[in-house]
Amino acid sequence: MARDVKPLTRAQREAAVKIATADKRVKSGRKARLRPVLAAPNLHDPAQPTGGEQVVVGFYDYDRGRSIVALVDPKERKVLGVEETEAHLQLSDEEKREAEGLAAKDERVKAFLDRRRADPLTRLYFPPGAARQEPPHRHAIVFLRPTSSERRYAVVDLSEGRTVDVLESLTD
């Protein structure tokens, strides 16, 4: 029988993130520049007891260019496990807003938009050559869409907090 799992409330997400960030395995024994990018019910563990409320919390470690996933039991207020993964977790809403804000400050973007609304669409991006960065940087691409026919693409390095390029097409 399928469990009826509801999305986490903001308070539940914040509590799970707080529990996870307090765990030394998540911090790796040092002060890391971690950003939570995901907090969701654990839907894929058949061993979890009925009514279990485990939460998967994903982080991006900007200092080391890696993703970390923690399994949290909010009732027990403890972390059940921590794994580093090579998977690139999608951008959080906070990261999307940050990327859009950084792009909006760029003079090339301002000139293109010419006071028009950006109507941005923002996604995780892997620019050419990014794999050679050490540590790897986290990038976003902001699709700027002021009209149905005009586009520019701002490439934002979230690790450095700056817009690194503005492209007229994705083949630039």
**Domains in the chain: ranges and CATH:** 10-85 (3.10.450), 93-167 (3.10.450.40)
pLDDT at 96: 98
**Parallel, antiparallel or unpaired: strands 121-125 and 55-61:** unpaired
pLDDT at 157: 96
Q: How far apart are CA 24 and CA 2, in angstroms?
A: 34
pLDDT at 51: 56
- C-beta separation of 143 from 122 below 8 A: yes
pLDDT at 2: 52
Residue 161 CB coordination number (10 Å): 12
Q: Which residues contact 15 (CB under 8 A, 6 or more apart)?
A: 74
pLDDT at 27: 78
CA-to-CA separations, 121 to 2, 83, 87, 168, in angstroms, rounded: 34, 30, 22, 15
pLDDT at 1: 43
pLDDT at 63: 84
Q: Which of 153, 133, 137 is nearest to 145 (CA)?
A: 153
Residue-wise pLDDT tens for the chain (172 aa)? 455 667 889 999 999 999 999 998 887 655 668 899 999 998 877 666 655 689 999 999 888 888 999 999 999 999 999 999 888 899 999 999 999 999 999 999 999 999 999 999 999 999 988 778 888 899 999 999 999 999 999 999 999 999 999 999 776 6
pLDDT at 30: 55
